[in-house]
Chains A and B, each alone.
Chain A
Amino acid sequence: MEVANGDRSPTAWKNPTCIFSPTSANDVSLAVKILAFTGSKYAIRSGGHSPLEGWASIDNGVLILMSEMKDLSYNTADQTVRFGFGNLWGDVYHYTETLGRLPVGGRVGTVGPMLTPGGGLSHMSNRYGFSVDNVASFDVGTHSKLKYAMLIFPRLCLLMEASLLLAHPPSPISSGL
């Protein structure tokens, strides 16, 4: 139960049948293939900040915890930071600020990166727009219309990141959206 609920708002506490904590994109891809096949209900959690019921946990279903997806790297060439959904903004900022850079992200370090596909109001928004406007790419695509996909599929974003679209519907966003 501690893993299932942690210190999140009890309004969001649930009792999942199964908790899966992927450590690689392939793990997530496999999980989603299985879930698509079985038709099981599932929930996905990144930072788990949301108090809304069913958003980041589930009763009688599978909870996918992204907490081990902690990759975090900076690309000097295009000045972007790439990070897995197991990081919180504090993790990202602590890292990029050692390099003299900041992304347009959450206003407190304890919130997770699912803030971005919700729109994402940042302390830097007045100059650079919302967090969702500052996505350089997902692993599956860079087209400008990506923003629409992110806003419509907030939960999907977590899985897109882990190549869901390579695994499930056969039309990669990178080529068409």
Chain B
Amino acid sequence: MTLKTYPSGKIWGGLVIYSTQYQDQLMAAFATYQKEGQISNKDTAMLTYVGINNQTIFATYVAYGATSCPAALQPFFDIPAVFDGTSTYETFMALTDANPVDFVVKRWTYAMTNIYLDNTTYVDAANACKEFADQMSTINGGTYALMPQPISTSMIDASKSTGGNAMGLKSRPQLWFTVNIGWNYAADDAKAIAIAAATMAKIESITKSRGLYDPFIFLNDAAAAQKAIRSYGPENFSKMGQVSKKYDPYSMFQTQVPGGFKIV
């Protein structure tokens, strides 16, 4: 595979740890960031895990080309932190290597749903997860972490301008709301996976009632039962069916390879 590359250099960022008592503020900060900072500063990003039943939030922030915390990320730094490991690094890998996020979970999986930008709904969606986090706590080794991923229209526009909107994304700020769950024993697989699915159903009942539900499923975070390719919309789904017939005439990848999302 050959990828385009872009200039790299100094980068500011690192790991910040908060208590989940600030979960509401964090979710609101995502909304503020999407309305302001993510638009004004395209070189900022984060990877966040809200460990509900560990009472711990791990957030890694980055700002390419910056040597101090940019204003765009300020909403996240108005929240009291337990630990702030941010600093300036010579390279992204230096930042990553200096800020490891190690989770001790044995079995794990994920599921995702997509929420249009709305401050109140971000807060409510995260709070709606509490009952499912509590259910995971009843399972041996159960962990439950939210991974809210703010998606800007500039990401979607950049995607559309390079080879078309193959994932069928709407030009609207959205939050790819992923839940990561962990547990110890195979005997609990079905129960754990059902808790993740129930979480998605609960959040979607909220977002649908408010007109803030988007059907897109991000394949990289999708549960096995989620129909990622169908979520790209009827036109893309049909096009992908044609591509499959043309380049995989014996349906080898639909039938002979059990893994991977299928055209269903």
- Interface of A toward B, CB cutoff 8 Å: 9-11, 35-36, 39-44, 51-56, 58, 61, 74-75, 79-83, 85, 90, 93-94, 96-97, 100-105, 107-109, 113, 115-116, 118-139, 144-149, 151-157, 161, 165, 168-169, 171, 173, 176-177
Q: What's the dominant secondary structure at chain B's contact region?
A: mixed
The minimal Cβ–Cβ distance linking B175 to chain A, given in whole angstroms, is 12
Query: Which residues of chain A are within 8 angstroms of B3 by Cβ–Cβ distance?
Result: 80-83, 103-105, 116, 131, 134-136
Asked if B127 lies at the interface with its beta carbon under 8 angstroms from chain A, I say no
Assess the B248–A169 pair: CB atoms within 8 A. yes
Assess the B93–A154 pair: CB atoms within 8 A. no
- Interface of B toward A, CB cutoff 8 Å: 1-9, 38, 42-45, 47, 60, 62, 64, 91-93, 96-97, 101, 106-110, 149, 151-152, 154-155, 158-159, 161-164, 166-167, 176, 186, 189, 218-220, 223-224, 229, 232, 236, 239-240, 243-244, 246-250, 252-253, 256-261, 263
Assess the A177–B243 pair: CB atoms within 8 A. yes
- Closest 4 interchain pairs by CB? A129-B158, A55-B259, A101-B5, A103-B3
Assess the A130–B159 pair: CB atoms within 8 A. yes
Assess the A51–B110 pair: CB atoms within 8 A. yes
In the complex, A115→B44 CA distance in Å? 20
* Contact A90 to B96, CB < 8 A, known contacts A58-B258, A126-B43, A151-B229: yes
The minimal Cβ–Cβ distance linking B169 to chain A, given in whole angstroms, is 9
* Contact A153 to B248, CB < 8 A, known contacts A80-B5, A119-B219, A148-B243: yes
Assess the B247–A171 pair: CB atoms within 8 A. yes
Add 11 more A-B contacts to A79-B4, A126-B155 (CB < 8 A). A9-B107, A11-B189, A54-B259, A80-B4, A82-B1, A100-B9, A103-B6, A151-B166, A153-B248, A156-B248, A171-B247
Assess the B258–A43 pair: CB atoms within 8 A. yes
Assess the A129–B256 pair: CB atoms within 8 A. no
Query: Which residues of chain A are within 8 angstroms of B240 by Cβ–Cβ distance?
Result: 148, 151-152
A sample of 21 inter-chain contacts (CB < 8 A) reads A9-B106, A36-B250, A52-B223, A83-B1, A93-B96, A94-B93, A100-B7, A100-B9, A103-B5, A105-B3, A119-B220, A121-B151, A123-B62, A126-B38, A130-B158, A145-B163, A145-B164, A157-B1, A169-B248, A169-B250, A177-B243
Query: Which residues of chain A are within 8 angstroms of B152 by Cβ–Cβ distance?
Result: 126
The minimal Cβ–Cβ distance linking B251 to chain A, given in whole angstroms, is 11
In the complex, A69→B23 CA distance in Å? 43
Query: Which residues of chain B are within 8 angstroms of A120 by Cβ–Cβ distance?
Result: 220
Assess the B224–A53 pair: CB atoms within 8 A. yes
Query: Which residues of chain A are within 8 angstroms of B110 by Cβ–Cβ distance?
Result: 51
Assess the A101–B8 pair: CB atoms within 8 A. yes
* Contact A133 to B244, CB < 8 A, known contacts A85-B1, A169-B249: no
* Contact A10 to B155, CB < 8 A, known contacts A103-B5, A171-B247: no
The minimal Cβ–Cβ distance linking A92 to chain B, given in whole angstroms, is 8
Assess the B257–A109 pair: CB atoms within 8 A. no
Assess the A43–B93 pair: CB atoms within 8 A. no
